[in-house]
Amino acid sequence: MIDFTRTRGKFHLPEGVVYLDGNSLGPMPVAAGERLSRMLADEWGDQLIRGWNTAGWYVQPRKVGDRIARLIGAAPGTVVMGDTLSIKVYQALSAALELNPERSVVLSDSGNFPSDLYIAQGLLRSLERGYELKVVEPEEVEDAIDDTVAAMMITEVDYRTGRRHDMKRLTARAHDAGAIAIWDLAHSAGAVDLDIAGADVDFAVGCTYKYLNGGPGAPAFIYVAPRFADRARPSLAGWMGHAAPFAFDLDYRPAPGIERMRVGTPPVIALTVLDAALDVWESVDMRDVRARSIELSERFIAGVETACPDLELGSPRNSHERGSQVSFRHPHAYAVMQALIARGVIGDFRAPDAMRFGFTPLYLDLDDVDRAVALLAEVLDRKLWDTPEYHSKATVT
């Protein structure tokens, strides 16, 4: 088992704060600032445009992609970085539909992140070919997979409840029905032990600013199974995904393999920060992370249910059926969370009534969990949340 006290020291954590919101935005690794300073001075500053070759900026998307591949159970050369998660969802879904042209249904569930559904709605409307986005309850996904489904597009871990789908079973069910399986790993990568190659996933996408600690707006990643790597056509085709970008051909020819999923100029500064953040993971086994996150979350649930009986657990009780976050429901969840944050325990709120708490073993321990439980109980017992300042919602909740 890894020594998590060692990894904790690699993060900048404000004094007196228990940070339970790494499922939304990870804290800053200490090395990120140092690496970025060097990059700005030594690479951009001194090398100027030569940095694309001499500092390796051009190959960053693949090199960083390979580092993430290890954490999600993918082979080297199957993951590439760049752009936002929404763009990667668009690329994966459009490619999947073209690979399965005789079918008309995209299947998703109500636990999917809304942005994924928005992307699907916009894409299907623009295609004007009678496509249907079918959204069912999470428990109904397996039964809804039939011979009309072109692509199943699912977020593995529900952003509100932490409910975790059985990726291997649902992917196999999709394949048996002739559908393509697309998985969003935004709340999975860096949180749970994944084996997307072993699960035979077709496409996977994810962000890196949550559990992977890449910073606000850090670039997203996309995985394409090797069987589709030279067949998938990204309808959002940019010059960095061209077979010969610097030939400046007027017609698009896709690059071989995963490189075709690149779009525009890579965000070099952001990728530099992410690369530094991934250094923390080099000696980390995701099975250890998963075991520790279950230990932390189980202790939190037990403590909250003892000390705060008025709260309702909004996540699956079985630890193997949820990711690395726990939600509790309260009619005034937003105000309660604001009062808790004011006292140094940072979680977040998701409409309509969920308080979310993320458990990230790289920098949390059992003492943090116990402190969070005690302060939550105090906020509720003394009704410290019931003041106008805590009821006034900020733009970002």
Query: Is the domain of 201 the same as that of 255?
Result: yes
Q: Is the pLDDT of residue 219 over 90?
A: yes
Domain around 351: 4-28+285-391
Residue 163 in domain: yes
Q: Is the pLDDT of residue 385 over 90?
A: yes
Query: Is the domain of 141 the same as that of 247?
Result: yes
Query: Is the domain of 96 the same as that of 227?
Result: yes
Q: Is the pLDDT of residue 126 over 80?
A: yes
Q: Is the pLDDT of residue 1 over 80?
A: no
Residue 37: burial class (beta carbons within 10 Å; 0-12, 13-18, 19+): exposed
- Residue 2 has what pLDDT? 83
Residue 361 in domain: yes
Count CB atoms within 10 A of the CB of residue 54: 12
Residue that wins the pLDDT comparison between 1 and 189: 189
CA distances from 47 to 5, 32, 55 (A): 38, 20, 8
How far apart CA 177 and CA 146 sit, in angstroms, is 6
Is 356 annotated as catalytic? yes
Identified catalytic residue from 4, 19, 90, 113: 113
Residue 225 in domain: yes
Identified catalytic residue from 262, 353, 356, 368: 356
Mean local confidence (pLDDT), 277-299: 96
Residue 37 in domain: no
Query: Is the domain of 177 the same as that of 274?
Result: yes
Q: Is the pLDDT of residue 3 over 90?
A: no
Query: Is the domain of 317 the same as that of 201?
Result: no
Is 248 annotated as catalytic? no
Identified catalytic residue from 35, 62, 163, 210: 210
Count CB atoms within 10 A of the CB of residue 27: 22
Of 281, 315, 340, the residue that ends a domain is: 281
Residue 80 in domain: yes
Identified catalytic residue from 21, 109, 184, 202: 184
pLDDT tens profile 91-122: 999 999 999 999 999 999 999 999 999 999 99
Name residues whose C-beta falls within 8 Å of residue 368's C-beta, 6 or more positions apart in sequence: 18, 20
Q: Is the pLDDT of residue 128 over 90?
A: no
Of 237, 261, 281, the residue that ends a domain is: 281
How far apart CA 333 and CA 354 sit, in angstroms, is 6
Which CATH number fits the domain that encloses residue 182? 3.40.640.10
- Residue 147 has what pLDDT? 97
Is 184 annotated as catalytic? yes
Structure tokens at 162: 């932490």
Query: Is the domain of 324 the same as that of 275?
Result: no
How far apart CA 152 and CA 202 sit, in angstroms, is 10
Query: Is the domain of 265 the same as that of 306?
Result: no
Of 281, 309, 325, the residue that ends a domain is: 281
Largest CA distance in the chain: 68
Query: Is the domain of 182 the same as that of 121?
Result: yes
Residue 396 in domain: no
Domain count, the chain: 2
Contact 75, 58 (CB under 8 A): no
For the chain, give the percent of residues with pLDDT over 70: 100
- Residue 234 has what pLDDT? 83
Query: Is the domain of 139 the same as that of 228?
Result: yes
Residue 362 in domain: yes
Residue 52 in domain: no
- Residue 31 has what pLDDT? 96
Query: Is the domain of 73 the same as that of 141?
Result: yes
Is 210 annotated as catalytic? yes
Structure tokens at 383: 């009704």
Identified catalytic residue from 19, 90, 209, 334: 209
Banded pLDDT at 365 (limits 50, 70, 90) = very high
Query: Is the domain of 248 the same as that of 263?
Result: yes
Query: Is the domain of 22 the same as that of 68?
Result: no
Which CATH number fits the domain that encloses residue 10? 3.90.1150.10
Is 317 annotated as catalytic? no
Q: Mean pLDDT, the chain, as a whole number?
A: 97
